[in-house]
Structure 1
Amino acid sequence: MSPKDDMARDRTDWAEDRTILANERTFAGWMRTGMTSLVVALGSSALFAETEPAWIAKTVASVFVLVAITVFAAGLIESRRAQLRIKSHVTAPQPAKRLTFVAVILTLGAMGIGVIIWMI
């Protein structure tokens, strides 16, 4: 095999490793977006707490909680799909269990916030 072929293969390997890292940054972006939705839920709940009837503000806040849960799930699903398609060479991808753990914990937190919003 010629040195030129080795360089081309190395370049491809590096591109796949960069894609793995980009996938992990994208997963983090999904999680941040979901957490931002939770902040909007809490903020709207607090801002419109005096609204009558109270269920209107709670429903609006709950919509943002549901958006957050959807974003967490979508982020996990898309990240796993990308991980399964890409071969790592030098870069070790985050374990799927760790990504799942993060998404599940954030989802449980979002559900807790949803319950608290309706209890207030």
Structure 2
Amino acid sequence: MISMPDRAEMAKDRTDLAEDRTVLAHERSFAGWVRTGMAAVGIGVGFHALFESLNPTWVPKAIATAFLLIAIFIFLSAERRACRILDNLDPHNVAVIKPIRIRLLSWALAAATAALGAALWLLVRV
């Protein structure tokens, strides 16, 4: 005779699966914010490339720098949010990105964006 799981066990399984879905949804949200930050970097670099001949020369650099600063803010705020949420959730049947990897990725993207901003200002037009 096959025994049926009791209601409490089934409810726990449903709760565990819901928490796993929530973890995965937050990972997708983090990836979306990273894409948004990368888009801000692209807009900044593209703006600088298109309007580099404007006078005074600091205007396109300042506008590009604003987009780069927005990207850095997006990377770091996405990292803080993702790590805070993942600390509060307990995955059961899914492999999740470790918070240290999220931090490393976010800080590496922020550092690379800052370096790009510095390069824009140090770039000498010929």
Structure 1 residue ranges, 4+ long, deviating more than 3 angstroms after superposition? none
Rounded to whole Å, the distance in 1 between the matches of 2:82 and 2:98 is 11
Relative to the length of structure 1, the TM-score reads 0.95
Match in the other structure for 1:4: 7
Report the alpha carbon displacement of residue 82 of structure 1 after superposing the two structures with TM. Answer: 0.6
Rounded to whole Å, the distance in 2 between the matches of 1:59 and 1:78 is 28
Q: How many residues align?
A: 119
- Return the index of the structure with the highest Cα Rg: 2
Paired-residue identity, %: 36
Rounded to whole Å, the distance in 2 between the matches of 1:42 and 1:90 is 41
Q: Which amino acid aligns with 2:100?
A: K
Higher helix content, 1 or 2? 1
Relative to the length of structure 2, the TM-score reads 0.90
Instruction: Give unpaired runs (5+ residues) of structure 2.
Output: none
Instruction: Give unpaired runs (5+ residues) of structure 1.
Output: none
Larger RCO: Structure 1 or Structure 2 (Cα < 8 Å, ≥ 6 residues apart)?
Answer: 1
Deviation string 1:44-83 (CA, Å, 9 cap, x unpaired) is 0001100000101100000000000000000000001111
Match in the other structure for 2:69: 66
**Alignment RMSD (CA, Å):** 1.0
Alignment match of 1:95 (pick from 89, 93, 98):
98
